[in-house]
Amino acid sequence: MAKKTARQLKLGAVLVGVGNDQFGWRDPDLPGDASIDINWFIKNAQLAEASKFDFVFLVDSPFITPDTTPHFLNRLEPLTLLSALAVTTSKIGLIATLTTSYWEPYNVARQFASLDNISHGRAGWNVVTTGLEGASRNYGREEHFDHAVRYARAHEFVQVVQGLWDSYEDDAFPRDKVAGVFLDKTKQHALNHKGEFFSVAGPLALSRSKQGQPVIFQAGISEDGRNLGAHIADGIYAGVDNFEDAQEYYADVKARASALGRDPDHITIAPGLSPIIEDTDEAARERVESRKEKLDLDKLLVQLGRAFNYHDFRKYPLDEPFPDVSHLSLNAYKGGAERIVRRAREGNLTLRQAAYRLAERGSNFVGSPQTVADEIERWFVGRAADGFNLHISRPSDFAKFREQVLPILQAKGLFKTEYEHDTLRGHLGLPVPENRWTLQAAQLQAAE
């Protein structure tokens, strides 16, 4: 009998097709067009659902260069893709990344509310502000918003979207065919929002799903990123890369949320996970070493530069101290760029070492299925994570996780063997938010 613990590990499946490292796409078992083949996504979402994953998760970005990594180079648009997954799965949550820097709240509210209705309450939105400045040129703008502006805009953006999602109270449509009453007009509400960034009247032409509103995820590690997460996030795709940092991030974001009067248990913190699983610890370590030998340094330097808006690190000497980049704007992946500089300084790293260090990111989970499951448990119990976002690309890696690691986690009582809910909020242990207008009316009535 598996032990039962109150707190359960949450698992997301990040479907990254041909992957974002140097090797994944060359796996003989992975179709070269996985990132644009809807059947690849359907198959893997169904496998994740059969293994009781809580959600699938799609990353996205509105800017590419010829040096962009394989999955990002050529991929399907997330909302369109998730609509197809909504009708080919029935339990698993469906989370798409969408940037607040290049959209309007009305569009975003409509798209996610549609996905939430199509999937019967399984939609989630990963709110990002976009790191790459080149995106501005795809949207008719000369410049990317500054980091602080992006975050202020994101905060207001989400509030407007959530306001629009409450346009109809849950009993707004009597659809009384005999009496001829389709809508109860008193239950339709315009938002009439006028703020620093947006002016949105509403109402939105779509009612709520059975989970009330789509779930909000967020990703961003700077101070502003942490504050936004503490304010708005039901879940966080955490950009952490070792246990100690993860614990610090976890405690910090939850403390910020508590200080705002929020229940910290209502934020699922889920770092990315790319485990290297082999039959023995030794075999797994050998795989890591042999990958390291094959890494193309030029490509690593491009990846390093990405955090600094694709700054070209290939022009610096490799074996001298990490170059002084203090003159560069940190407007792109600010939190990530600051971390690279800090680590290089603290470790007295050369440029070559810093590039390899970045490639080792996420190599905390290397070993036999037992070792990987134990390490997941350590992070979960040690409050470094509430769950993980497993990157799904190579079929054999995903199979090993499902068939060998998950049963160990289930035997430990950490992960469910059956779904207990069929909405994303249900999976994440989140209450259905009351419609704000219904709540207001009830409060007014109580006060009378």
Ligand X SMILES: Cc1cc2nc3c(=O)[nH]c(=O)nc-3n(C[C@H](O)[C@H](O)[C@H](O)COP(=O)(O)O)c2cc1C
Residue from 20, 44, 51, 97 binding ligand X (CB under 6 A): 97
Q: Does 69 bind ligand X (CB under 6 A)?
A: no
Q: 182 near 191, Cβ under 8 Å?
A: no
| 128 near ligand X, judged by CB under 6 A | yes
- List the one residue from 22, 46, 61, 404 that touches ligand X (CB under 6 A): 61
Closest CA to 53 of 400, 427, 423: 427
- Minimum distance, C-beta of residue 101 to ligand X, in the bound complex (Å): 7
Residue 189 backbone class (left: φ over 0; alpha: ψ -120 to 50; beta: rest):
beta
Q: Which of residues 206-265 bind ligand X (CB under 6 A)?
A: 219-222, 224-225, 237, 239
Nearest-angstrom CA–CA distance, 271 and 277? 18
Measured CA to CA, the distance from residue 241 to residue 244 in angstroms comes to 9
Identified binder of ligand X from the candidate list 60, 166, 241, 386, rule CB under 6 A: 60
* Among the residue ranges 53-61, 87-95, 400-408, 437-445, the one whose residues contact ligand X (CB under 6 A): 53-61
Can you read off the two tokens belonging to residue 255? Answer: 């403390």
Instruction: Tell me if 125 contacts ligand X by CB under 6 A.
Output: no
Judged by CB under 6 A, the stretch of 1-9, 58-66, 244-252, 353-361 that binds ligand X is 58-66
CB of 72 or CB of 168, closer to ligand X: 72
User: In this complex, which beta carbon is closest to ligand X, that of residue 75 or of residue 189?
Assistant: 75
Separation between Cα atoms, residue 100 and residue 128, nearest integer Å: 6
Q: Does 391 bind ligand X (CB under 6 A)?
A: no
With CA atoms as reference, report the closest residue to 402 among 5, 4, 13.
Answer: 13
x/- binding map, residues 395-434, to ligand X, per CB under 6 A? ----------------------------------------
CB of 75 to ligand X, least distance (A): 11
The dihedral sign for the CA sequence 404, 401, 84, 266? positive
Element (H, E) at 407: helix 406-411
Q: How far is Cα 60 from Cα 78, in angstroms, rounded to an integer?
A: 7
Closest CA to 236 of 28, 399, 12: 12
Shortest distance, position 396 Cβ to ligand X, whole Å: 25
Contact with ligand X (CB under 6 A) among 70, 93, 105, 131: 131
User: C-beta of 131: minimal distance to ligand X in Å?
Assistant: 4
Q: DSSP label at 370?
A: H
Query: Among residues 111, 119, 130, 364, which is the contact residue for ligand X, using CB under 6 A?
Result: 130
Task: Kindly report the length of the chain.
Answer: 448
Regarding 336 and contact with ligand X (CB under 6 A), the answer is: yes
Q: Which of 44, 51, 89, 99 binds ligand X (CB under 6 A)?
A: 99
By CB under 6 A, tell whether 78 contacts ligand X. no
C-alpha to C-alpha distance for 7 and 308, rounded to whole angstroms: 38
**Of 121 and 239, CB closest to ligand X:** 239
Q: Measuring CA to CA, how many Å separate 6 from each of 10, 222, 413?
A: 12, 32, 9
Q: Does 334 engage in binding with ligand X (CB under 6 A)? A: yes
Q: Are 127 and 154 in contact (CB under 8 A)?
A: yes
Exactly one of 59, 86, 160, 191 binds ligand X (CB under 6 A); which one?
59
Determine the interface stretch with ligand X among 104-112, 127-135, 170-178, 368-376 (rule: CB under 6 A). Answer: 127-135
CA 246 to chain centre: 16
Burial (CB < 10 A; 0-12, 13-18, 19+), residue 4, is: exposed
Which residues would be at the binding site for ligand X (CB under 6 A)? 59-61, 97, 99, 128-131, 219-222, 224-225, 237, 239, 333-336
